[in-house]
Structure 1
Amino acid sequence: MSKPSASYPHPRMIPLLAASALLVCNLAQAQTTPPDTEAKSAAPQVQSPPADDKAAKDSNQLNRVEVIGNNSDQEQRRTSTASRIVIGKEEIERYGDSSVSEVLRRLPGVTTGGRPGRGGDVRMRGMGGGYTQILLNGERMPPGFSLDNLPPDQLERIEVMRAPTAEFGARAVAGTINIVLKEALKITANELRIGTSVEGDQASGNVSWTRNDKIGENIPYTFTVSLNRSNSRDDSESRTLWTDLNTGALVLDQQATGTTLNKRQGLNLNARVQIPLGAGESLSIMPIAIMGNGSSSTVGKLNQAPGGAVVQPYASTASEGNGTFNMLRANLQWQKRVNDATKLDLRLNGGGSLNTTRSQRRELDGNTALLRLTDDSTDTRENNWSLNGKASYQMENEHSLVAGLELDSNARRQGRTTLQNGLPILTEFGDDVNASSQRVATYIQDEWNPSKQISAYAGLRWESITTQSDSANYAVSNTSNVLTPLLHATWKPDEKSRDQWRSSLTRSYKAASLQELIARPSISQRYPTGANEISSPDRAGNPNLNPELASGFEIAYEHYLNKGGLISANFFYRRISDLIRNVVALETVSWSDQKRWVSRPQNVGNATAQGIELEAKVRLDEVWDEALPISLRTNLSVFDSKVDQVPGPNNRLEGQPKGTANIGADYKLRNLPISFGGTLNMTPGYDLQISDIQSSSMGTKVVADAFVLWSVNRETQVRFTLNNFVPRDYLSINTALNASQLQLTESNNPSRLNWGVRLELKL
């Protein structure tokens, strides 16, 4: 398997010294340049566009800019002091994706877990598991909420911030993705979308309605209602081989196959009402409701070669499950402009969710006689509130100050019952888990333009998180406090230049999740009693985890083209201390009279991560006069990382590939109301050394998508989509060593083509 290779310097101080030198040079040059006295907004800091840009905006060029992307989106990216990529509605809706994670995987440096075409957990720079901060309307996502619960047609825009800022939070070692829901407009509009898609032999459908209007003369509102039903089929096959280390003899050869049918339906509602209260004062009300339920059924077979020393545990399995998820939240935002220089912003959020799951698994022998019956039932209720306040002050000397205070509290009550052949297990740990977390944060930041060529940012944020759990036989109490200084700077070689440089020095962190801290064990499904194997461990938490701390450096170059195009290169570096990783060890446990392999999160030491991110957006006729006006988008990211306490090679951060790449093109026919395009996303395979006794290999992931948009008239569009139209199997290998055996499992998860059609109406 071919893999890209890259080499980066690992010494800690070189990047930090380089960043310091760049910031000092920028500020030194600012002292010799007369300050710009033009008025500016409080935040984010913006720079005036070059005069030649303004002169270039004739009507013909405006039409061309729209093909590449929304000009205001590009302008926000260009004028932001801290790096920010803005993705507008046109790009979000282009391929008719069914989940937000599918939209995100086309962005520079973003990858997703799971098989091709199925979305999955979102990772910036290949770093998942809490390294990537996901925000909803600038707030941390509520507990239990998943991006898969949110249809893409409810989004207004997506903001990608590669480095943390004081206002948006420092729990963003890899970066921040802020998802902004639809905003109220001052015009009356109705949009109706009806779509269907087919994957293999499974059909899905969705319908959504968005309305913008006014209550009376001056209260604009918007609401979106989405109904969706999805059906999918997942096939899997795996082979497990155990080899004796002393003799080389094959101890075990098992082949497992399985088919899962999933059904899910949901109702999503969100709205925004903006109420003017007086001059410079307004109140916004933003409710959101999600109601969903689903079911799944799985059948599996296990074949074992004869002659081995291990008894075959079962011949077949049958599992059924169902679940519900309901969430209701409301956000109140009060804004008041006290005077020309001062603005106040207060946000109050509150809500709750209820998640229920029921499952049953039957293990049968070759004669279909029942060997083991496992029933699992879980009810999880979460309640959350938060209060955020900030004050913005525009000083006369080109400084824009923002100070804020954040409070939030989350309470979880979980009841779980697990029965083995009708009898409860893990009774010593109790069935109920009561947990809570409280967070307090305060910050201050200053943005200023020392000159028309330079913008600078300095921020300081302090955050404290306390997590507690009170359950039978164990109680958890964990508190972490983190102080994070942050520096950003942007420099243009010339006031009218289309080139600019960015640099950042940051400190960020990753707090242990509630699931990682709570110590209630989860028993191996393959070996629920007696001794288990290193390849099928039990799982438990660790209440003594410390947060991961990361020092970061970024430097970037950006060149903006005349017709809305862009060429950029970004280098990042992170030095992480107290890295959290799951470690498998043989333990004496209270839930078994035999020693069992248990996987627990632990602080294992230090790690580094670095990479280069390249991006280009250009129209062919911008570089070649005779070319068709085809819009090209391409990005390439190369990643590298090293965990100091894990032996090499391939001692990378868990789940981080060596890179990812996207290439796409769009074209609008000149004489017909049709536009079409396609994109290719590739993440190469990679090897990972997890510990001295565990390793894994992940196969290459390739996803190709295409669309055709037919504008029937000004009110009607029909969108045809092909997603994952070159389906590939997703391969993985997991290897584990115990005292006498090498245990290897090869897995293969096929993917399928998904085609769809959607009618889009403006009523």
Structure 2
Amino acid sequence: MAPVHAQQAPVSKEQAPAGESRKIQQVEVKGAAASYDPRRDDTASKIVVNNEEIVKYGDTNVLDVLKRVPGVTVSSSGRGGEIRMRGLGNGYTQILLNGERAPAGFDISSLSPEVIERIEVLRAASAEFSTQSIAGTINVVLKKSVKAAQRELKLGYGHGAAQNSPTASLQLSDKLGKLSYSFAMNVFQNRFTNEPETTESFFNPAGVMTGLRQSETPQDARISAVNLTPRINYTFENGDTLTSQTFANWANFSQVEAGRIETLLGPIPAYPRLDQSMTNHNHVFREELNWVHKFESGAKLDAKLSGLYVGAGNSMYRFGGGNPAATPLRAFIESDAAIRGLTSTGKYTSSRFEGHALAFGWDGGYQSGDDRRLERDAAAPAVPLPGGDEFYESAVSRLAVYGQDEWNVTPAWSVYLGARWEGIRTSTEGNTYAQVKNNSSVLSPIAQTLYKIPGTKGDQLRLAVTRTYKAPNQQQIIPHRFTSVNNSQTEPDSIGNPNLKPELALGIDASYEHYWAEGALLSASVSSRRITDYTRSLVVFDGARWVSTPTNSGNAKTYGVELEAKFPLKAVMETTTNLDLRASLSRNWSTVDSVPGPDNRLDGQTPLSATLGADYKTGALTLGGSYVFKNGGFVRVSGNQISYQSVRRDLDLYALWKFTPKLQLRVATANLLAQDNISQSSYTTAAGTQTSRTLNPVHRSVRATVEMKF
């Protein structure tokens, strides 16, 4: 809630009756909503990225937005990139869409920044949201605000050495008495080429090279997407509100690649020539009804009912050859999936007890899905192969109940106490394996506190103790094998593990924050997580092929330090220059007790990341830039398996020129340093070591966007 201040306004003698000029006073109550800062005032620690920050660089991909947020890293800015907090991937960071977990199969990189109202980054768990958030939670909130007679159109085009990407977005909103509505639509396309280069090396136990292969895989790809977010809100006579929020997303992806492997030493692979073409379509439709009722006592009930449908389809042609000893590969693979779900959430809040903000709520839902995978000879796609087609059905039911209280103990000290019980039941069955059921439940107590140090202008301390977890996703527990073409230690098949258990974590976060001027912040925080039943992917040889499978393997510990500073130049010196500066630094460590060191870190954890940024405004022109650094290094996945990720440096610049209050031009550049991505994996057995190293080129690009209001 925003603080409210009472302000006394003087009344002149001419306005007051005789003899009462000093007795009658006028009291004016003003709501200081603008002075409310959730980062500073909420007991639960969070960072809020508003729409202005989201669209600043003209990004077409929400992953590019998040890479600049303090404490957040992105594995890659392209399709399928993974969002990470504390440098942790593999599902440790929870991604929410309007407070609910993003639907399975939804690629967040297809979500346009234009349809996002704000992004909330929660470093510590809260009872209101799912506690499947060992590293933290990122909640993407779609546009909800309705402004009278708002009309906005944006047209953009991006170009680079390897990409072309036109975009268009439209925002409409208005009020008609007790009815208000908004409609946002975004359309974008990105066509790009890529030429990854891979080197495979083989060494015997004595360290002598016995094999060397080099390959190039030119790729030509295109992604097209449409986002729609219509919203209708109606206010009843008694003050109740009913809101319909729709989210529809259509995305199509296609790619053609021609792989060629040149063997310089040793035996040639089964398919040194591999041509592949793939098309993928994904569509998501979610409808949410939200009813809010305020009681005379001041309590409020906020209830939601939402339905979900996700459809996905994928088709691929594979043509392999070049080795006389291997039968030529001619495969047509088709897979389809459909997910249907119904969710009910609710929150009852009460301020009946002075100084307390009590809340109780529920979050339950049911989701069913079916998948099919067909594999044919490409020359005769109507004829099934001897292995047969594969069909799967799944069901997920979940229920969570929670309670929480934000208690203002004193004007300087507030405490948040909460608890959430969450249970998940999954069931999968298919024509190639028996039914698999998996049940898990977790009780998560949570405590957070905020203490504003007396006698200081803006110094405060935070502390949070949480219990969180990570449940295995359905793909990890289905015992279905996905095969690789040139099977090896570094290119294995993958198969799920129906006996996989959830990972549990006990976490502690502490921070110091210093506010000394408007928009000025210095912050230092430390954190730690102790994880039990840690899950990692183990690569083993099953007698015929190399296979990767997820396995619970011991315990892990992770801890980190984050520093952040942001302030206008006016806060540190006397100047009229409108320059805002910001910087952040994150250092992370982790160990896995079941893996020998050194470098036995969690899931390729990013050990060090940093951001630098500046925004300068003069008249109608605004200029800015952002530099993002992400360290890499080696990670020992197991006693036999090591992976490597290269250092990453990104420099982006933008300029915004406001011709009129209703017309402006935004120009932005991305990846100015054009630093290539390098990844590597190696596997050692008694017969020797195999290493695979891949270089993915990164290219510069520029984008211009015309923004019009009418």
TM-score range normalised by the length of the shorter chain: over 0.9
CA distance in 2, matches of 1:501, 1:487: 14
1:621 maps to which residue?
Answer: 570
2:515 maps to which residue?
Answer: 560
1:633 equivalent to 2:590? Answer no
CA distance in 1, matches of 2:409, 2:385: 66
Whether the 8 Å CA contact 1:534–1:738 is kept in 2: the answer is no
Whether the 8 Å CA contact 1:439–1:466 is kept in 2: the answer is yes
CA distance in 1, matches of 2:68, 2:222: 26
Q: Which moved more, 1:134-143 or 1:330-339?
A: 134-143
| One-letter identity of the residue aligned with 1:144 | G
| One-letter identity of the residue aligned with 1:168 | F
Q: CA deviation at 1:374?
A: 2.1
Q: Which moved more, 1:638-647 or 1:249-258?
A: 249-258
| One-letter identity of the residue aligned with 2:566 | K
| One-letter identity of the residue aligned with 1:410 | Q
Secondary structure of the 2:236 match is strand
Change (3 A) 1:602 1:201: closer
Q: Which has the higher strand share?
A: 2
Q: CA deviation at 1:229?
A: 1.4
| One-letter identity of the residue aligned with 1:637 | S
Q: Deviations over 1:385-405 (max 9, x none)?
A: 100122111123311111111
| One-letter identity of the residue aligned with 2:511 | A
Q: CA deviation at 1:720?
A: 0.3
Whether the 8 Å CA contact 2:234–2:243 is kept in 1: the answer is yes
2:49 maps to which residue?
Answer: 87
1:394-409 map, 5 Å: 394-409=351-366
- Which of residues 299, 307, 311 is equivalent to 2:258? 299
Q: CA deviation at 1:597?
A: 1.8
1:499 maps to which residue?
Answer: 459
Q: CA deviation at 1:712?
A: 0.6
Whether the 8 Å CA contact 2:3–2:36 is kept in 1: the answer is no
CA distance in 1, matches of 2:687, 2:259: 29
1:67-216 map, 5 Å: 72=34, 75-114=37-76, 120-214=81-175, 216=176
- Which of residues 684, 701, 708 is equivalent to 1:754? 701
CA distance in 2, matches of 1:522, 1:254: 24
Q: CA deviation at 1:536?
A: 2.1
TM-score by length of 2: 0.93
1:438 equivalent to 2:397? Answer yes
Whether the 8 Å CA contact 1:535–1:736 is kept in 2: the answer is yes
1:23 maps to which residue?
Answer: none
Q: Which moved more, 1:158-167 or 1:369-378?
A: 369-378
1:292-331 map, 5 Å: 292-306=251-265, 308=266, 310-331=267-288
CA distance in 2, matches of 1:427, 1:366: 24
CA distance in 2, matches of 1:186, 1:313: 62
CA distance in 1, matches of 2:277, 2:686: 37
Change (3 A) 1:147 1:341: same
1:700 equivalent to 2:655? Answer no
Q: Higher relative contact order by CA 8 Å / sep ≥ 6: 1 or 2?
A: 1
CA distance in 2, matches of 1:506, 1:698: 31
CA distance in 2, matches of 1:612, 1:72: 31
Q: CA deviation at 1:410?
A: 1.2
Whether the 8 Å CA contact 2:162–2:194 is kept in 1: the answer is no
1:542 equivalent to 2:497? Answer yes
- Which of residues 182, 186, 189 is equivalent to 1:222? 182
Q: CA deviation at 1:596?
A: 2.1
Whether the 8 Å CA contact 2:106–2:282 is kept in 1: the answer is no
Change (3 A) 1:203 1:172: same
Change (3 A) 1:73 1:287: farther
Whether the 8 Å CA contact 1:88–1:158 is kept in 2: the answer is yes
Whether the 8 Å CA contact 1:580–1:603 is kept in 2: the answer is yes
| One-letter identity of the residue aligned with 1:415 | R
Q: Deviations over 1:454-499 (max 9, x none)?
A: 0101101101001100112222100001000000000011176311
Q: Deviations over 1:600-658 (max 9, x none)?
A: 10100100111011111111221121473310011100000011110001100012111
Q: Deviations over 1:492-545 (max 9, x none)?
A: 111763111000010000000010011111112213xxxxx3222211000111
Secondary structure of the 1:427 match is coil
Unaligned runs of at least 5 residues, structure 2: 8-31
1:516 maps to which residue?
Answer: 476
Whether the 8 Å CA contact 2:467–2:504 is kept in 1: the answer is yes
Q: Which moved more, 1:453-462 or 1:619-628?
A: 619-628
Q: CA deviation at 1:294?
A: 2.5
2:20 maps to which residue?
Answer: none
Identity between Structure 1 and Structure 2 (%): 33
Q: Deviations over 1:294-326 (max 9, x none)?
A: 2111012110014x2x23433422211112112
1:609 maps to which residue?
Answer: 558
1:644 maps to which residue?
Answer: 593
CA distance in 2, matches of 1:49, 1:745: 64
CA distance in 2, matches of 1:506, 1:462: 13
Secondary structure of the 1:478 match is strand
CA distance in 1, matches of 2:55, 2:463: 32
CA distance in 2, matches of 1:122, 1:260: 24
Q: Which has the higher helix share?
A: 1
- Which of residues 614, 626, 629 is equivalent to 1:679? 626
Whether the 8 Å CA contact 1:184–1:221 is kept in 2: the answer is no
CA distance in 2, matches of 1:619, 1:71: 21
1:257 maps to which residue?
Answer: 216
1:585 maps to which residue?
Answer: 540
Q: CA deviation at 1:72?
A: 4.7
Change (3 A) 1:757 1:231: same
Whether the 8 Å CA contact 1:112–1:119 is kept in 2: the answer is no
Q: Which moved more, 1:184-193 or 1:104-113?
A: 184-193
Q: Which moved more, 1:219-228 or 1:499-508?
A: 219-228
CA distance in 1, matches of 2:37, 2:684: 54
Secondary structure of the 1:305 match is strand
Whether the 8 Å CA contact 1:102–1:119 is kept in 2: the answer is no
2:423 maps to which residue?
Answer: 464
1:36 maps to which residue?
Answer: none
- Which of residues 582, 601, 607 is equivalent to 1:658? 607
| One-letter identity of the residue aligned with 1:586 | F
Whether the 8 Å CA contact 1:657–1:685 is kept in 2: the answer is yes
Length, aligned pairs only: 681
1:352-363 map, 5 Å: 352-363=309-320
Whether the 8 Å CA contact 2:270–2:321 is kept in 1: the answer is no
Q: Deviations over 1:648-676 (max 9, x none)?
A: 0110001211111000101011xx41110
Secondary structure of the 1:205 match is strand
2:346 maps to which residue?
Answer: 389
2:528 maps to which residue?
Answer: 573
Q: Deviations over 1:94-150 (max 9, x none)?
A: 101111111011111111112x67781101111122111111111111222121121
Q: Deviations over 1:208-232 (max 9, x none)?
A: 1000112x31211111011111101
Aligned structure 1 segments of 4 or more residues deviating by more than 4 angstroms: 46-51, 70-74, 116-119, 420-426
Secondary structure of the 2:438 match is strand
Change (3 A) 1:73 1:435: farther
Secondary structure of the 1:278 match is coil
| One-letter identity of the residue aligned with 1:613 | E
Q: CA deviation at 1:74?
A: 6.9
| One-letter identity of the residue aligned with 1:241 | S
Unaligned runs of at least 5 residues, structure 1: 1-40, 52-69, 528-532, 589-594
Q: Say what the alpha-carbon RMSD is for the aligned residues.
A: 2.1
1:455 equivalent to 2:414? Answer yes
Q: Which moved more, 1:176-185 or 1:412-421?
A: 412-421
Change (3 A) 1:642 1:553: same
Secondary structure of the 1:605 match is coil
1:732-747 map, 5 Å: 732-747=679-694
